[in-house]
Amino acid sequence: MNHIKSTFGPTFALIALLLITGGYLYLFTDYDVKWPGFFAMLVFYALIFYFGAYAANLHKTDDVNGVLLAGRQLPLFIAVFTMSATWIGGGFINGTAEYAYDPNFGLIWVQAPWGYALSLMVGGLFFARKMRNYGFKTMLDPLAQRFGKRMAAVLFIPALSGEIFWTAAILTALGTTFGVVLGLELQPAIIISALIAIAYTALGGLWAVALTDIVQLILLVIGLLLVLPFAAGHAGQAGSFSAAWDAYTLKFGASATLLPSREALGDYYWMWWDYALLLIFGGVAWQVYFQRVLAAKTADIAVRLSIIAGVVCLLVSIPAAMIGIVGSVTDWAVLGLPEPDSPASILPHVMRYLTPGIIGTIGLGAIAAAVMSSVDSSILSAASMSGWNVYRPLLRPDISSENLAKVIRRCIWIIGIAATIISLNITSVYKLETLGLPTFIPYPMISGDEVLFPFRTFAMVSGLMTILLVSRLTQKIDPSVQLVKEH
């Protein structure tokens, strides 16, 4: 009961702040906002923050092990929820619907769901048990043991960059969705969402993230399942998903499948495989994944949660893909409705125009839940490595566990605000992913601005062979260091 009472204060303060923000937008801006839906979203955010603050009080801890790894006490049930929710972000859901809808891609290019699912399974089968048995705190720990703390700090830079740009990209996707469904401008939506996620993450660390992930994943599944039947009711004269699928296969032909074929992909066949291998193997080396593996109660739980979460990721993507399929075959002109501005907006567009207002708002809450479950995990991940692998070994080797936990909480705010600023200044998710870099290596199979040659796989294999070769040649000069268990 004391945990509940102590949570009311911060939650009521947040509700007051959100209401003041909403009142300001209502009175002093010209936004064409659907205000009932907007205030319903504020209630949703207050609910999420309440669960985060409740978790912070229920599992209150002041040491670094509690903030980073929930005291290594995550049971299988909670671990599966938080692992699944982390991977099923707003970009995951929006991107699945987008590629299923886009006439230039089709279902064959919806690779993220099964690619990430296999990625989690690969991590579980080959890495989870060993990492958990050694008792590491981050994925950089084995690298620090082998190559030294300074090299681990250098390797932290690409990890930090990936987390910040990923966070910024999914915040941008959420802001765009708010604009389509509620008519709210990008900036207020991003700021409100980011601040709430940052606040409860800093309060409760991994426990707050894990317990809010349960709520967020449940809301996501309910929201998508509620939207789907209303959307399918507008698909053709039959008004069912089976009718939508028939129309979709007729429209997309060989691209209406998940399996690659020369007929459907043509010159893009090897590019398809390049992206597939990137998703499967590139998805392993993320701290957000290993944070949950290392927080599991036992090594067996670490393995099982990876495999089960992979299956969950695959299942939750199905409604999003179905919504994209329905949107693709809907005759918007006959319904007297505007066409989507772009394929990227198809999911919020369906929610706004093919469902009743309340269902659309619930669907928006589902996307917001998906985004926040990834944002909180990403900023905690980057902050964990910042404190444990950079600040502690290089600046304060003798720092106490309690003081290091405070440093990590400050890093959560710094990294979260940095990602928010990036998302406010670069409104294109595509630009955040590509960084706008032009093609400058003369690979074969270049068509216009596109490199059809599987250069990602080529780079990966080249790097792997270089590591093996250099390690073999320098083995006598600089022999490898045996990994040791940490406490």
List pLDDT tens digits, range 131-182: 999 999 999 999 999 888 999 999 999 999 888 888 888 787 777 777 766 6
Question: Range(s) for CATH 1.20.1730.10 in the chain?
Answer: 2-427
Residue for token digits 């004391």? Answer: 2
Cα–Cα distance between 136 and 130 in angstroms, integer?
A: 10
Domain 2-427, architecture per CATH: Up-down Bundle (1.20)
Tens digits of residue pLDDT in 99-140: 999 999 999 999 999 999 999 999 999 999 999 999 999 999
Closest by CA position to 89, among listed 384, 310, 317: 317
Question: What local confidence, expressed as pLDDT, does residue 171 receive?
Answer: 81
More confident residue, 479 or 59: 479
Question: What local confidence, expressed as pLDDT, does residue 234 receive?
Answer: 74
Question: What local confidence, expressed as pLDDT, does residue 162 receive?
Answer: 87
Q: Is the pLDDT of residue 461 over 80?
A: yes
Q: What is the mean pLDDT of residues 26-48?
A: 70
Q: Is the pLDDT of residue 17 over 80?
A: no
Q: What is the mean pLDDT of residues 276-282?
A: 94
What is the CA angle 334-336-342, rounded to 5?
A: 95
- How would residue 13 be classed by pLDDT, with cut points 50, 70 and 90? low
DSSP assigned state of 482: P
More confident residue, 11 or 57: 57
Burial state string for 288-297 with b = 16 or more CB within 10 A and e = fewer than 16: bbbbbbbbbb
Q: Is the pLDDT of residue 430 over 50?
A: no
Q: What is the mean pLDDT of residues 218-244?
A: 82
Closest by CA position to 182, among listed 31, 34, 341, 331: 34
Supply the pTM of this predicted model: 0.89
Cα–Cα distance between 210 and 226 in angstroms, integer?
A: 25
Q: What is the mean pLDDT of residues 274-302?
A: 94
Q: What is the mean pLDDT of residues 466-485?
A: 88
